[in-house]
Structure 1
Amino acid sequence: MPADPVSPVDVVAGEKMWAAYSHARPDAVAASPEYTIEHFGDSRRLADELLAHVISGRKRATSELVADFLARGDAVPRIGSHWIACGGLGVPRIIIRSIELRIGTFATADAAFAADEGEDDLSLDSWRREHRVYWTRVAAAQGRVWSETEEIVFERFSVVWPPEHADTAP
């Protein structure tokens, strides 16, 4: 477990953000009414760093092990699904919407995806290095061993709320 664990998400604030988005974008919500409230990463520092990359526009993709969705009792996202992204202290900051999804293994990550994930030096080599470390740590915290043959959800997204951070105007 990291030395600086993330705080629980502020569900009430997340629901208020969702209500504001729902009022402004009723068609998007009608098309995909489900959402989650969560954070990037497994530590306060990582959650804040990755969220900052999203807000700056550098990060428009993420990847997560299918096993991690299952461990939380969450369904794998679908195109159009939303999630409210929180910082390391659990405060909701933005709503993102899945625009492209695929399931593959570690070996199927490519340079374009690594660049879109917006981390480190944007290279596939650094993506592989850092994700090996991360998924090994996350799996160990769950009492299991990570394997490069596990299924990974490769997700591209857009920021849809609030308007000052949205990729396109509502």
Structure 2
Amino acid sequence: METPPTDTSAAGLADNAPVDRSAAAGLWEAYRAARPELATDAEPPSVEQFGDHPELTDELLGLVIEGPKRATASLVAEFAAEGEPLPRVGSHWIACDSTGRPRAILRSTELRLAVIDEVDESFAYDEGEGDRTLAWWRDGHERYWRRATARLGFEWSPDLEIVLERFDVVWPAEIAD
């Protein structure tokens, strides 16, 4: 069984590079030109990175590009802290690697709010991380959210709301579902 990382602090973790918004806009325009029937968002998509440090960011993005990761989970408080609205079914977002380079456009297919104890085996499996079990998922995510809440200035609690999101990879064409 693969073991989640044991570090629960943000100390010693390098930062990701800022996202390249110009390159992300170019990727979005290429997708809009090729798939206008899907690229109907009223606003440009958010441009984001998985994880909170380069190693994790690139590992998670690799799972997206290679195929097993088709879900993600974020604290509602993370969206609030960034002044971002919660995702909507059908909305898009651009995933960047740790250098800030946009690598994939994702389209939300399912969303729900939950707390950690309401997450099921199916969702944990669809996240594609670790050994894909619920136990691994809960342990790894709690460790991540302890770092995230510390950065946001409050303490992790298992009753914090989580956005559970499933997605499809829609662009570039060579990695699309």
Match of 1:59 in 2: 69
Residue 8 of structure 1 pairs with residue 18 of structure 2: yes
CA distance in 2, matches of 1:20, 1:107: 40
CA deviation profile, 1:51-108 (whole Å, cap 9, x unmatched): 0000000100000000000000000000001000000110000000000000011111
Match of 1:140 in 2: 150
Amino acid at match of 2:66: S
CA distance in 2, matches of 1:59, 1:51: 8
Is the Cα–Cα contact under 8 Å of residues 33 and 81 in structure 1 kept in the other structure? no
2:84 to 74, 80, 85: 74
CA distance in 2, matches of 1:21, 1:76: 22
How many residue pairs get aligned? The number is 166
Amino acid at match of 1:71: A
CA distance in 2, matches of 1:3, 1:116: 27
Cα drift, residue 146 of structure 1? 1.3
Is the Cα–Cα contact under 8 Å of residues 81 and 97 in structure 1 kept in the other structure? yes
Amino acid at match of 1:50: L
Structure 2 unaligned blocks of 5 or more: 1-9
CA deviation profile, 1:3-24 (whole Å, cap 9, x unmatched): 2211100000000000000111
Structure 1 unaligned blocks of 5 or more: none
Deviates more, 1:77-86 or 1:1-10: 1-10
CA distance in 1, matches of 2:32, 2:160: 35
Amino acid at match of 2:137: W
CA distance in 2, matches of 1:10, 1:65: 24
1:95 to 105, 118, 123: 105
CA distance in 2, matches of 1:126, 1:161: 29
Give the aligned CA root-mean-square deviation in angstroms: 0.9
CA deviation profile, 1:115-159 (whole Å, cap 9, x unmatched): 000001100000011111100011001111111101100000000
Residue 27 of structure 1 pairs with residue 40 of structure 2: no
TM-score, length-scaled by structure 2: 0.92
Residue 46 of structure 1 pairs with residue 56 of structure 2: yes
TM-score, length-scaled by structure 1: 0.95
**Percent of paired sites with the same residue:** 50
Cα drift, residue 33 of structure 1? 3.5
Match of 2:173 in 1: 163
Amino acid at match of 1:33: A
Amino acid at match of 1:27: E
Amino acid at match of 2:124: A
